[in-house]
Structure 1
Protein backbone atom coordinates (compact mmCIF):
# COMPACT_ATOMS: atom_id res chain seq x y z
CA UNK A 1 0.00 0.00 0.00
CA UNK A 2 1.20 3.53 -0.79
CA UNK A 3 -0.39 6.99 -0.92
CA UNK A 4 -1.44 6.52 -4.55
CA UNK A 5 -3.33 3.38 -3.59
CA UNK A 6 -5.19 5.38 -0.93
CA UNK A 7 -5.90 8.18 -3.38
CA UNK A 8 -7.28 5.71 -5.92
CA UNK A 9 -9.49 4.06 -3.31
CA UNK A 10 -10.80 7.43 -2.05
CA UNK A 11 -11.56 8.67 -5.58
CA UNK A 12 -13.47 5.47 -6.40
CA UNK A 13 -15.45 5.89 -3.18
CA UNK A 14 -16.25 9.54 -3.92
CA UNK A 15 -17.34 8.85 -7.52
CA UNK A 16 -19.01 5.47 -6.90
CA UNK A 17 -17.36 4.06 -10.00
CA UNK A 18 -14.03 2.44 -10.87
CA UNK A 19 -14.36 3.69 -14.45
CA UNK A 20 -14.95 7.31 -13.40
CA UNK A 21 -12.11 7.09 -10.89
CA UNK A 22 -9.78 5.82 -13.63
CA UNK A 23 -10.71 8.72 -15.92
CA UNK A 24 -10.30 11.22 -13.09
CA UNK A 25 -6.85 9.89 -12.15
CA UNK A 26 -5.62 9.24 -15.68
CA UNK A 27 -5.37 5.49 -15.13
CA UNK A 28 -6.68 2.46 -16.98
CA UNK A 29 -9.79 0.94 -15.45
CA UNK A 30 -8.09 -2.46 -14.90
CA UNK A 31 -5.38 -0.65 -12.92
CA UNK A 32 -7.98 0.78 -10.56
CA UNK A 33 -9.58 -2.65 -10.15
CA UNK A 34 -6.16 -4.19 -9.43
CA UNK A 35 -5.34 -1.55 -6.80
CA UNK A 36 -8.68 -2.04 -5.05
CA UNK A 37 -8.12 -5.82 -5.16
CA UNK A 38 -4.67 -5.42 -3.56
CA UNK A 39 -6.11 -3.27 -0.80
CA UNK A 40 -8.92 -5.75 -0.18
CA UNK A 41 -6.36 -8.54 0.09
CA UNK A 42 -4.19 -6.49 2.46
CA UNK A 43 -7.15 -5.53 4.66
CA UNK A 44 -8.80 -8.95 4.48
CA UNK A 45 -12.25 -7.96 3.28
CA UNK A 46 -14.31 -6.32 0.52
CA UNK A 47 -14.17 -2.53 0.28
CA UNK A 48 -17.04 -2.19 -2.20
CA UNK A 49 -20.26 -3.90 -3.16
CA UNK A 50 -20.67 -4.03 -6.95
CA UNK A 51 -24.12 -2.95 -8.16
CA UNK A 52 -24.17 -2.93 -11.94
CA UNK A 53 -21.89 -0.19 -13.23
CA UNK A 54 -21.61 1.47 -9.84
CA UNK A 55 -19.97 0.51 -6.57
CA UNK A 56 -20.98 1.26 -2.97
CA UNK A 57 -18.76 1.16 0.09
CA UNK A 58 -18.96 -1.84 2.36
CA UNK A 59 -18.75 -1.40 6.14
CA UNK A 60 -15.01 -2.02 5.90
CA UNK A 61 -14.80 0.47 3.03
CA UNK A 62 -16.57 3.16 5.06
CA UNK A 63 -14.12 2.71 7.93
CA UNK A 64 -11.17 2.73 5.53
CA UNK A 65 -12.37 5.97 3.91
CA UNK A 66 -12.73 7.67 7.30
CA UNK A 67 -9.11 6.83 8.06
CA UNK A 68 -7.73 7.54 4.59
CA UNK A 69 -9.20 11.01 4.08
CA UNK A 70 -7.24 12.77 6.89
CA UNK A 71 -4.01 11.18 5.63
CA UNK A 72 -4.68 12.36 2.08
CA UNK A 73 -5.50 15.89 3.27
CA UNK A 74 -2.25 15.98 5.24
CA UNK A 75 -0.23 14.85 2.22
CA UNK A 76 -1.97 17.42 -0.02
CA UNK A 77 -1.33 20.15 2.55
CA UNK A 78 2.35 19.19 2.73
CA UNK A 79 2.60 19.30 -1.07
CA UNK A 80 0.95 22.71 -1.16
CA UNK A 81 3.30 24.01 1.54
CA UNK A 82 6.40 22.75 -0.25
CA UNK A 83 5.33 24.15 -3.63
CA UNK A 84 4.71 27.54 -2.05
CA UNK A 85 7.69 27.53 0.29
CA UNK A 86 9.99 29.59 -1.89
CA UNK A 87 7.51 32.32 -2.77
CA UNK A 88 5.38 34.83 -0.94
CA UNK A 89 1.72 33.91 -0.48
CA UNK A 90 -0.35 34.96 -3.45
CA UNK A 91 -3.65 34.27 -5.14
CA UNK A 92 -7.32 34.83 -4.43
CA UNK A 93 -8.76 34.12 -0.98
CA UNK A 94 -12.54 34.04 -0.46
CA UNK A 95 -13.78 35.18 2.95
CA UNK A 96 -17.40 34.94 4.10
CA UNK A 97 -18.61 37.10 6.98
CA UNK A 98 -21.80 38.76 8.23
CA UNK A 99 -22.63 42.41 7.54
CA UNK A 100 -22.08 43.35 11.18
CA UNK A 101 -18.40 42.37 11.04
CA UNK A 102 -17.48 43.85 7.66
CA UNK A 103 -16.67 47.37 8.98
CA UNK A 104 -14.58 45.97 11.84
CA UNK A 105 -12.61 43.38 9.87
CA UNK A 106 -12.46 43.98 6.12
CA UNK A 107 -10.85 47.48 5.88
CA UNK A 108 -8.06 46.61 8.32
CA UNK A 109 -7.50 43.22 6.69
CA UNK A 110 -7.32 44.67 3.17
CA UNK A 111 -4.99 47.48 4.28
CA UNK A 112 -2.60 44.94 5.85
CA UNK A 113 -2.57 42.82 2.71
CA UNK A 114 -1.96 45.79 0.43
CA UNK A 115 0.95 46.96 2.60
CA UNK A 116 2.63 43.62 3.22
CA UNK A 117 1.28 40.91 0.89
CA UNK A 118 0.11 42.59 -2.27
CA UNK A 119 -0.02 39.28 -4.13
CA UNK A 120 -3.10 38.21 -2.16
CA UNK A 121 -6.42 39.27 -3.65
CA UNK A 122 -9.31 39.35 -1.20
CA UNK A 123 -12.78 38.21 -2.30
CA UNK A 124 -15.49 39.10 0.23
CA UNK A 125 -18.81 37.24 0.52
CA UNK A 126 -21.47 38.83 2.72
CA UNK A 127 -24.02 36.57 4.39
CA UNK A 128 -25.48 35.33 7.65
CA UNK A 129 -24.16 32.46 9.75
CA UNK A 130 -26.14 29.63 8.16
CA UNK A 131 -25.21 30.77 4.66
CA UNK A 132 -21.52 31.10 5.57
CA UNK A 133 -21.51 27.57 7.04
CA UNK A 134 -23.03 26.34 3.76
CA UNK A 135 -20.40 28.20 1.72
CA UNK A 136 -17.67 26.54 3.80
CA UNK A 137 -19.13 23.07 3.30
CA UNK A 138 -19.41 23.65 -0.46
CA UNK A 139 -15.92 25.11 -0.81
CA UNK A 140 -17.20 28.50 -1.96
CA UNK A 141 -15.19 30.35 0.69
CA UNK A 142 -11.78 29.54 2.15
CA UNK A 143 -12.36 31.34 5.44
CA UNK A 144 -15.67 31.81 7.23
CA UNK A 145 -16.33 34.19 10.11
CA UNK A 146 -19.72 34.03 11.76
CA UNK A 147 -21.61 34.39 15.02
CA UNK A 148 -23.08 31.94 17.49
CA UNK A 149 -25.50 32.86 20.28
CA UNK A 150 -25.88 31.30 23.72
CA UNK A 151 -27.99 32.15 26.73
CA UNK A 152 -26.44 32.38 30.19
CA UNK A 153 -22.99 33.05 31.59
CA UNK A 154 -20.20 33.89 29.17
CA UNK A 155 -17.01 31.85 29.05
CA UNK A 156 -14.62 33.94 26.98
CA UNK A 157 -11.74 31.47 26.98
CA UNK A 158 -10.53 30.86 23.43
CA UNK A 159 -13.11 33.11 21.78
CA UNK A 160 -11.97 35.81 19.39
CA UNK A 161 -14.82 38.27 19.88
CA UNK A 162 -17.55 38.02 22.46
CA UNK A 163 -20.24 40.27 23.83
CA UNK A 164 -23.59 40.43 25.61
CA UNK A 165 -26.47 41.59 23.42
CA UNK A 166 -27.81 45.07 24.14
CA UNK A 167 -31.01 47.03 23.61
CA UNK A 168 -30.16 50.10 21.52
CA UNK A 169 -32.02 53.26 20.66
CA UNK A 170 -31.62 56.98 19.95
CA UNK A 171 -29.36 58.64 22.52
CA UNK A 172 -31.35 61.90 22.62
CA UNK A 173 -34.38 60.18 24.14
CA UNK A 174 -32.61 57.40 26.07
CA UNK A 175 -33.84 56.92 29.63
CA UNK A 176 -33.10 53.22 30.10
CA UNK A 177 -30.64 52.09 32.82
CA UNK A 178 -27.27 50.60 31.90
CA UNK A 179 -28.72 47.11 32.36
CA UNK A 180 -32.23 45.92 31.59
CA UNK A 181 -34.01 42.64 32.37
CA UNK A 182 -35.00 40.61 29.33
CA UNK A 183 -38.69 40.65 30.35
CA UNK A 184 -38.77 44.46 29.96
CA UNK A 185 -38.09 44.15 26.23
CA UNK A 186 -41.85 43.71 25.84
CA UNK A 187 -42.17 47.47 26.52
CA UNK A 188 -40.28 48.52 23.39
CA UNK A 189 -41.21 48.53 19.67
CA UNK A 190 -38.46 46.45 18.14
CA UNK A 191 -36.80 46.20 14.75
CA UNK A 192 -35.29 42.72 14.50
CA UNK A 193 -33.72 40.56 11.78
CA UNK A 194 -35.89 37.99 10.00
CA UNK A 195 -36.74 34.68 11.66
CA UNK A 196 -33.89 32.70 10.08
CA UNK A 197 -31.23 34.99 11.57
CA UNK A 198 -29.25 33.50 14.47
CA UNK A 199 -29.72 36.52 16.74
CA UNK A 200 -33.47 36.53 16.10
CA UNK A 201 -33.78 32.81 16.81
CA UNK A 202 -31.90 33.20 20.10
CA UNK A 203 -34.06 36.14 21.20
CA UNK A 204 -37.29 34.40 20.21
CA UNK A 205 -36.28 31.22 22.05
CA UNK A 206 -35.77 33.11 25.31
CA UNK A 207 -39.01 35.06 24.81
CA UNK A 208 -41.01 31.86 24.28
CA UNK A 209 -39.54 30.21 27.33
CA UNK A 210 -40.20 33.23 29.53
CA UNK A 211 -43.61 33.91 27.91
CA UNK A 212 -42.58 37.44 26.97
CA UNK A 213 -44.64 38.99 24.14
CA UNK A 214 -42.18 41.00 22.06
CA UNK A 215 -43.53 43.83 19.94
CA UNK A 216 -41.74 43.44 16.61
CA UNK A 217 -42.88 46.35 14.44
CA UNK A 218 -40.52 45.62 11.54
CA UNK A 219 -38.06 42.98 10.32
CA UNK A 220 -34.88 43.84 8.43
CA UNK A 221 -31.74 41.82 7.81
CA UNK A 222 -29.92 44.96 6.68
CA UNK A 223 -28.10 46.68 9.54
CA UNK A 224 -28.44 49.99 7.70
CA UNK A 225 -32.23 49.54 7.53
CA UNK A 226 -32.42 48.66 11.22
CA UNK A 227 -30.44 51.76 12.16
CA UNK A 228 -32.48 54.07 9.93
CA UNK A 229 -35.78 52.83 11.38
CA UNK A 230 -34.41 53.20 14.89
CA UNK A 231 -33.27 56.75 14.19
CA UNK A 232 -36.40 57.94 12.41
CA UNK A 233 -39.30 55.78 13.55
CA UNK A 234 -39.03 55.61 17.33
CA UNK A 235 -37.92 51.95 17.27
CA UNK A 236 -35.30 49.98 19.18
CA UNK A 237 -32.78 47.30 18.13
CA UNK A 238 -31.19 44.29 19.80
CA UNK A 239 -27.56 44.21 18.71
CA UNK A 240 -24.02 43.19 19.59
CA UNK A 241 -22.25 46.27 21.02
CA UNK A 242 -19.60 46.62 18.34
CA UNK A 243 -22.25 47.07 15.61
CA UNK A 244 -23.20 50.46 17.08
CA UNK A 245 -19.83 51.42 18.60
CA UNK A 246 -19.20 54.35 16.23
CA UNK A 247 -22.72 55.75 16.71
CA UNK A 248 -22.32 55.51 20.49
CA UNK A 249 -19.08 57.49 20.31
CA UNK A 250 -20.89 60.16 18.30
CA UNK A 251 -23.79 60.13 20.80
CA UNK A 252 -26.26 59.00 18.14
CA UNK A 253 -27.23 55.70 19.80
CA UNK A 254 -27.28 54.60 23.41
CA UNK A 255 -27.65 51.08 24.75
CA UNK A 256 -28.37 48.91 27.79
CA UNK A 257 -27.00 45.42 28.38
CA UNK A 258 -29.74 42.78 28.46
CA UNK A 259 -29.64 40.67 31.64
CA UNK A 260 -31.67 38.00 33.44
CA UNK A 261 -31.03 36.22 31.21
CA UNK A 262 -28.24 37.60 29.10
CA UNK A 263 -27.74 36.40 25.53
CA UNK A 264 -24.13 36.06 24.53
CA UNK A 265 -22.73 36.37 21.07
CA UNK A 266 -19.36 34.96 20.14
CA UNK A 267 -17.57 34.98 16.82
CA UNK A 268 -15.80 31.95 15.35
CA UNK A 269 -13.41 31.69 12.43
CA UNK A 270 -13.51 28.43 10.44
CA UNK A 271 -11.48 27.39 7.42
CA UNK A 272 -12.78 25.22 4.60
CA UNK A 273 -12.01 21.50 4.42
CA UNK A 274 -12.88 20.86 0.76
CA UNK A 275 -9.33 21.47 -0.49
CA UNK A 276 -5.87 22.11 0.97
CA UNK A 277 -5.68 25.56 2.47
CA UNK A 278 -3.21 27.70 0.55
CA UNK A 279 -0.54 29.78 2.27
CA UNK A 280 -2.47 32.86 1.21
CA UNK A 281 -5.65 31.57 2.85
CA UNK A 282 -3.79 30.67 6.04
CA UNK A 283 -2.25 34.14 6.10
CA UNK A 284 -5.67 35.75 5.72
CA UNK A 285 -7.10 33.52 8.45
CA UNK A 286 -4.28 34.40 10.85
CA UNK A 287 -4.59 38.12 10.23
CA UNK A 288 -8.38 38.07 10.55
CA UNK A 289 -8.02 36.17 13.83
CA UNK A 290 -5.67 38.84 15.17
CA UNK A 291 -8.05 41.62 14.14
CA UNK A 292 -11.01 39.92 15.84
CA UNK A 293 -9.06 39.32 19.03
CA UNK A 294 -8.11 42.98 19.02
CA UNK A 295 -11.82 43.79 19.23
CA UNK A 296 -12.48 41.38 22.11
CA UNK A 297 -12.57 43.97 24.87
CA UNK A 298 -16.36 44.20 24.58
CA UNK A 299 -18.59 42.77 27.31
Structure 2
Protein backbone atom coordinates (compact mmCIF):
# COMPACT_ATOMS: atom_id res chain seq x y z
CA UNK A 1 0.00 0.00 0.00
CA UNK A 2 1.59 3.26 -1.15
CA UNK A 3 0.63 5.90 1.37
CA UNK A 4 2.11 8.70 -0.74
CA UNK A 5 -0.71 8.21 -3.25
CA UNK A 6 -3.44 8.24 -0.60
CA UNK A 7 -5.08 11.51 0.35
CA UNK A 8 -8.02 9.62 1.93
CA UNK A 9 -7.51 8.91 5.63
CA UNK A 10 -11.08 7.86 6.41
CA UNK A 11 -14.25 6.69 4.69
CA UNK A 12 -17.89 7.67 5.27
CA UNK A 13 -20.69 5.08 5.18
CA UNK A 14 -23.61 6.26 3.02
CA UNK A 15 -25.45 2.94 2.70
CA UNK A 16 -28.22 3.66 5.20
CA UNK A 17 -28.71 7.33 4.35
CA UNK A 18 -32.19 6.51 2.98
CA UNK A 19 -33.24 5.83 6.60
CA UNK A 20 -31.92 9.19 7.80
CA UNK A 21 -35.33 10.29 9.11
CA UNK A 22 -36.03 6.92 10.76
CA UNK A 23 -32.70 6.30 12.46
CA UNK A 24 -34.26 5.69 15.88
CA UNK A 25 -36.66 3.03 14.57
CA UNK A 26 -33.93 1.36 12.51
CA UNK A 27 -31.59 1.31 15.51
CA UNK A 28 -34.21 -0.37 17.69
CA UNK A 29 -34.99 -3.01 15.05
CA UNK A 30 -31.34 -3.82 14.36
CA UNK A 31 -30.47 -3.85 18.06
CA UNK A 32 -33.33 -6.30 18.70
CA UNK A 33 -32.18 -8.50 15.80
CA UNK A 34 -28.59 -8.47 17.03
CA UNK A 35 -29.62 -9.37 20.57
CA UNK A 36 -31.65 -12.27 19.19
CA UNK A 37 -28.72 -13.44 17.05
CA UNK A 38 -26.40 -13.46 20.06
CA UNK A 39 -29.00 -15.21 22.24
CA UNK A 40 -29.61 -17.98 19.70
CA UNK A 41 -25.94 -18.57 18.90
CA UNK A 42 -24.87 -18.50 22.56
CA UNK A 43 -27.63 -21.03 23.30
CA UNK A 44 -26.37 -23.36 20.56
CA UNK A 45 -22.75 -22.99 21.73
CA UNK A 46 -23.67 -23.57 25.38
CA UNK A 47 -25.77 -26.64 24.63
CA UNK A 48 -23.07 -28.26 22.48
CA UNK A 49 -20.39 -27.42 25.04
CA UNK A 50 -22.30 -28.64 28.11
CA UNK A 51 -24.16 -31.69 26.80
CA UNK A 52 -21.93 -34.75 26.54
CA UNK A 53 -24.27 -36.43 24.03
CA UNK A 54 -23.46 -33.70 21.50
CA UNK A 55 -19.69 -34.15 21.73
CA UNK A 56 -19.45 -35.67 18.25
CA UNK A 57 -17.73 -34.49 15.02
CA UNK A 58 -21.01 -33.25 13.51
CA UNK A 59 -21.73 -30.99 16.49
CA UNK A 60 -18.10 -29.95 16.82
CA UNK A 61 -18.28 -28.57 13.27
CA UNK A 62 -21.63 -26.93 14.06
CA UNK A 63 -19.98 -25.39 17.13
CA UNK A 64 -17.11 -24.04 14.98
CA UNK A 65 -19.60 -22.71 12.41
CA UNK A 66 -21.64 -20.91 15.09
CA UNK A 67 -18.46 -19.38 16.56
CA UNK A 68 -17.37 -18.20 13.10
CA UNK A 69 -20.80 -16.72 12.31
CA UNK A 70 -20.99 -14.98 15.68
CA UNK A 71 -17.53 -13.48 15.12
CA UNK A 72 -18.66 -12.31 11.67
CA UNK A 73 -21.46 -10.31 13.28
CA UNK A 74 -18.93 -8.71 15.67
CA UNK A 75 -17.02 -7.36 12.66
CA UNK A 76 -19.90 -5.39 11.11
CA UNK A 77 -22.93 -4.97 13.37
CA UNK A 78 -21.46 -3.16 16.44
CA UNK A 79 -19.88 -0.55 14.16
CA UNK A 80 -23.19 -0.10 12.35
CA UNK A 81 -25.13 0.27 15.62
CA UNK A 82 -22.55 2.74 16.97
CA UNK A 83 -22.80 4.79 13.76
CA UNK A 84 -26.59 4.97 14.02
CA UNK A 85 -26.44 5.79 17.74
CA UNK A 86 -23.81 8.53 17.56
CA UNK A 87 -24.40 9.83 14.04
CA UNK A 88 -20.70 9.34 13.24
CA UNK A 89 -20.59 7.30 10.02
CA UNK A 90 -16.84 7.51 9.48
CA UNK A 91 -14.24 4.75 9.63
CA UNK A 92 -10.49 5.20 9.33
CA UNK A 93 -8.55 3.84 6.36
CA UNK A 94 -6.77 1.21 8.51
CA UNK A 95 -9.99 0.19 10.33
CA UNK A 96 -11.67 -0.27 6.95
CA UNK A 97 -8.87 -2.57 5.80
CA UNK A 98 -9.05 -4.58 9.03
CA UNK A 99 -12.85 -4.85 8.85
CA UNK A 100 -12.73 -6.14 5.29
CA UNK A 101 -9.96 -8.61 6.15
CA UNK A 102 -11.90 -10.03 9.12
CA UNK A 103 -15.25 -10.11 7.31
CA UNK A 104 -14.00 -12.01 4.27
CA UNK A 105 -11.69 -14.22 6.32
CA UNK A 106 -14.61 -15.36 8.47
CA UNK A 107 -16.92 -15.52 5.43
CA UNK A 108 -14.49 -17.84 3.60
CA UNK A 109 -14.12 -19.87 6.80
CA UNK A 110 -17.92 -20.28 6.94
CA UNK A 111 -17.93 -21.60 3.36
CA UNK A 112 -15.16 -24.08 4.11
CA UNK A 113 -16.86 -25.25 7.31
CA UNK A 114 -20.05 -25.96 5.35
CA UNK A 115 -17.95 -28.18 3.06
CA UNK A 116 -16.48 -29.92 6.11
CA UNK A 117 -20.00 -30.50 7.46
CA UNK A 118 -21.06 -32.01 4.12
CA UNK A 119 -17.95 -34.24 4.19
CA UNK A 120 -18.84 -35.32 7.73
CA UNK A 121 -22.34 -36.35 6.63
CA UNK A 122 -20.84 -38.16 3.62
CA UNK A 123 -18.56 -40.22 5.87
CA UNK A 124 -21.34 -40.92 8.40
CA UNK A 125 -23.78 -42.16 5.76
CA UNK A 126 -21.51 -43.63 3.06
CA UNK A 127 -18.63 -44.94 5.20
CA UNK A 128 -20.16 -45.66 8.64
CA UNK A 129 -17.67 -48.41 9.53
CA UNK A 130 -14.68 -46.07 9.09
CA UNK A 131 -16.38 -42.93 10.42
CA UNK A 132 -14.86 -43.00 13.92
CA UNK A 133 -11.37 -43.34 12.46
CA UNK A 134 -11.72 -40.74 9.69
CA UNK A 135 -13.64 -38.14 11.76
CA UNK A 136 -12.44 -38.02 15.34
CA UNK A 137 -11.81 -35.09 17.70
CA UNK A 138 -8.19 -34.62 16.62
CA UNK A 139 -9.09 -34.68 12.92
CA UNK A 140 -11.94 -32.19 13.44
CA UNK A 141 -9.74 -29.79 15.42
CA UNK A 142 -6.98 -29.84 12.82
CA UNK A 143 -9.49 -29.54 9.98
CA UNK A 144 -11.23 -26.51 11.54
CA UNK A 145 -7.87 -24.82 12.25
CA UNK A 146 -6.60 -25.45 8.71
CA UNK A 147 -9.81 -24.11 7.15
CA UNK A 148 -9.59 -20.98 9.30
CA UNK A 149 -5.99 -20.34 8.17
CA UNK A 150 -6.89 -20.87 4.50
CA UNK A 151 -9.90 -18.56 4.81
CA UNK A 152 -7.83 -15.71 6.22
CA UNK A 153 -5.09 -16.24 3.62
CA UNK A 154 -7.72 -15.78 0.90
CA UNK A 155 -8.98 -12.67 2.68
CA UNK A 156 -5.44 -11.31 3.02
CA UNK A 157 -4.99 -11.67 -0.74
CA UNK A 158 -8.21 -9.72 -1.41
CA UNK A 159 -7.24 -7.04 1.13
CA UNK A 160 -3.80 -6.64 -0.42
CA UNK A 161 -5.28 -6.31 -3.91
CA UNK A 162 -7.66 -3.53 -2.85
CA UNK A 163 -5.72 -1.46 -0.32
CA UNK A 164 -2.52 -1.30 -2.37
CA UNK A 165 -4.50 0.96 -4.74
CA UNK A 166 -4.38 4.76 -4.39
CA UNK A 167 -7.44 6.49 -2.88
CA UNK A 168 -7.53 10.21 -3.64
CA UNK A 169 -11.21 10.97 -2.98
CA UNK A 170 -14.20 11.01 -2.81
CA UNK A 171 -14.46 8.88 0.32
CA UNK A 172 -18.19 8.04 0.58
CA UNK A 173 -18.87 4.28 0.69
CA UNK A 174 -22.37 3.39 -0.52
CA UNK A 175 -22.71 0.64 2.06
CA UNK A 176 -22.85 0.12 5.84
CA UNK A 177 -19.48 -1.65 6.06
CA UNK A 178 -16.27 -1.90 4.00
CA UNK A 179 -17.40 -4.24 1.24
CA UNK A 180 -15.50 -5.06 -1.95
CA UNK A 181 -17.26 -3.17 -4.75
CA UNK A 182 -18.15 0.05 -2.86
CA UNK A 183 -14.54 0.49 -1.68
CA UNK A 184 -13.01 -0.53 -5.00
CA UNK A 185 -15.09 2.10 -6.83
CA UNK A 186 -13.36 4.83 -4.79
CA UNK A 187 -9.86 3.97 -6.03
CA UNK A 188 -8.48 6.68 -8.31
CA UNK A 189 -6.92 4.29 -10.83
CA UNK A 190 -7.96 1.61 -13.30
CA UNK A 191 -9.30 -1.33 -11.28
CA UNK A 192 -10.16 -3.69 -14.18
CA UNK A 193 -7.34 -6.16 -13.47
CA UNK A 194 -7.97 -6.01 -9.72
CA UNK A 195 -11.65 -6.77 -10.35
CA UNK A 196 -10.74 -9.83 -12.40
CA UNK A 197 -8.46 -11.20 -9.66
CA UNK A 198 -11.08 -10.58 -6.95
CA UNK A 199 -13.85 -12.25 -8.99
CA UNK A 200 -11.49 -15.18 -9.59
CA UNK A 201 -10.77 -15.56 -5.86
CA UNK A 202 -14.45 -15.23 -4.91
CA UNK A 203 -15.40 -17.75 -7.60
CA UNK A 204 -12.84 -20.26 -6.32
CA UNK A 205 -14.19 -19.94 -2.77
CA UNK A 206 -17.92 -19.83 -3.55
CA UNK A 207 -18.23 -22.03 -6.63
CA UNK A 208 -15.48 -24.39 -5.50
CA UNK A 209 -17.12 -25.05 -2.15
CA UNK A 210 -20.60 -25.38 -3.71
CA UNK A 211 -19.26 -27.98 -6.18
CA UNK A 212 -17.64 -29.98 -3.36
CA UNK A 213 -20.88 -29.88 -1.34
CA UNK A 214 -22.88 -30.90 -4.43
CA UNK A 215 -20.58 -33.87 -5.09
CA UNK A 216 -20.83 -34.95 -1.44
CA UNK A 217 -24.62 -34.92 -1.61
CA UNK A 218 -24.70 -36.93 -4.83
CA UNK A 219 -22.93 -39.74 -2.98
CA UNK A 220 -25.08 -39.20 0.11
CA UNK A 221 -28.33 -39.34 -1.90
CA UNK A 222 -27.15 -42.47 -3.69
CA UNK A 223 -26.35 -44.14 -0.34
CA UNK A 224 -29.68 -43.08 1.22
CA UNK A 225 -31.70 -44.52 -1.66
CA UNK A 226 -30.02 -47.88 -1.09
CA UNK A 227 -31.27 -48.02 2.53
CA UNK A 228 -34.08 -50.61 2.73
CA UNK A 229 -35.77 -49.21 5.84
CA UNK A 230 -38.03 -46.19 5.25
CA UNK A 231 -37.32 -45.07 8.83
CA UNK A 232 -33.60 -45.30 8.13
CA UNK A 233 -33.96 -43.22 4.97
CA UNK A 234 -36.02 -40.61 6.84
CA UNK A 235 -33.43 -40.36 9.62
CA UNK A 236 -30.60 -39.98 7.09
CA UNK A 237 -32.51 -37.28 5.20
CA UNK A 238 -33.31 -35.39 8.42
CA UNK A 239 -29.63 -35.20 9.42
CA UNK A 240 -28.84 -33.55 6.06
CA UNK A 241 -31.90 -31.31 5.61
CA UNK A 242 -30.78 -28.57 8.02
CA UNK A 243 -27.36 -28.39 6.41
CA UNK A 244 -28.87 -28.13 2.91
CA UNK A 245 -31.16 -25.25 3.95
CA UNK A 246 -28.23 -23.37 5.52
CA UNK A 247 -26.10 -23.96 2.41
CA UNK A 248 -28.81 -22.56 0.11
CA UNK A 249 -29.31 -19.47 2.30
CA UNK A 250 -25.60 -18.81 2.81
CA UNK A 251 -24.38 -19.32 -0.75
CA UNK A 252 -27.48 -17.82 -2.38
CA UNK A 253 -26.95 -14.42 -0.74
CA UNK A 254 -23.15 -14.49 -1.18
CA UNK A 255 -23.29 -15.46 -4.87
CA UNK A 256 -25.91 -12.79 -5.62
CA UNK A 257 -23.73 -10.07 -4.10
CA UNK A 258 -20.22 -11.10 -5.17
CA UNK A 259 -20.53 -13.05 -8.44
CA UNK A 260 -23.02 -11.10 -10.52
CA UNK A 261 -21.98 -8.22 -12.86
CA UNK A 262 -21.78 -4.85 -11.12
CA UNK A 263 -23.41 -1.53 -12.03
CA UNK A 264 -23.84 1.74 -10.18
CA UNK A 265 -27.46 0.89 -9.37
CA UNK A 266 -26.56 -2.61 -8.14
CA UNK A 267 -24.72 -1.17 -5.13
CA UNK A 268 -28.04 -0.24 -3.48
CA UNK A 269 -29.33 -3.77 -4.13
CA UNK A 270 -26.10 -5.20 -2.67
CA UNK A 271 -26.61 -3.14 0.47
CA UNK A 272 -30.10 -4.55 1.01
CA UNK A 273 -28.95 -8.12 0.28
CA UNK A 274 -26.01 -7.61 2.64
CA UNK A 275 -28.43 -6.63 5.42
CA UNK A 276 -30.09 -10.02 4.88
CA UNK A 277 -26.70 -11.76 4.74
CA UNK A 278 -25.29 -10.04 7.84
CA UNK A 279 -28.43 -10.13 10.02
CA UNK A 280 -30.81 -12.85 8.89
CA UNK A 281 -28.32 -15.60 7.99
CA UNK A 282 -26.77 -15.86 11.50
CA UNK A 283 -30.29 -15.49 12.92
CA UNK A 284 -31.86 -18.23 10.80
CA UNK A 285 -29.03 -20.77 10.93
CA UNK A 286 -29.24 -21.60 14.67
CA UNK A 287 -33.05 -21.62 14.39
CA UNK A 288 -32.85 -24.09 11.49
CA UNK A 289 -30.46 -26.39 13.30
CA UNK A 290 -32.53 -26.18 16.49
CA UNK A 291 -36.00 -26.63 15.02
CA UNK A 292 -35.03 -29.50 12.70
CA UNK A 293 -32.73 -31.39 15.08
CA UNK A 294 -34.27 -33.57 17.80
CA UNK A 295 -30.96 -34.06 19.65
CA UNK A 296 -30.37 -30.31 19.92
CA UNK A 297 -33.96 -29.67 21.06
CA UNK A 298 -33.68 -32.37 23.73
CA UNK A 299 -30.34 -30.94 24.88
CA UNK A 300 -31.84 -27.43 25.15
CA UNK A 301 -34.79 -28.76 27.20
CA UNK A 302 -32.36 -30.62 29.44
CA UNK A 303 -30.21 -27.50 29.91
CA UNK A 304 -33.26 -25.36 30.77
CA UNK A 305 -34.57 -28.01 33.16
CA UNK A 306 -31.21 -28.26 34.93
CA UNK A 307 -31.00 -24.47 35.18
CA UNK A 308 -34.49 -24.35 36.71
CA UNK A 309 -33.57 -27.02 39.26
CA UNK A 310 -30.37 -25.22 40.19
CA UNK A 311 -32.12 -21.88 40.71
CA UNK A 312 -35.13 -23.35 42.51
CA UNK A 313 -33.47 -25.99 44.68
CA UNK A 314 -29.86 -24.84 44.86
CA UNK A 315 -28.54 -27.73 42.78
CA UNK A 316 -30.32 -30.43 44.85
CA UNK A 317 -32.24 -33.19 43.11
CA UNK A 318 -35.69 -31.91 42.19
CA UNK A 319 -37.25 -34.91 40.49
CA UNK A 320 -37.09 -33.31 37.05
CA UNK A 321 -33.36 -33.68 36.38
Q: What TM bracket, shorter-length normalisation?
A: under 0.3
Greater radius of gyration (CA): 1
> What TM-score comes out, normalization by structure 2 length?
0.20
Q: What TM-score do you get using the length of structure 1 for normalisation?
A: 0.22
Higher helix share: 2
Structure with bigger strand share is 1
Higher relative contact order (CA 8 A, sep 6+): 2
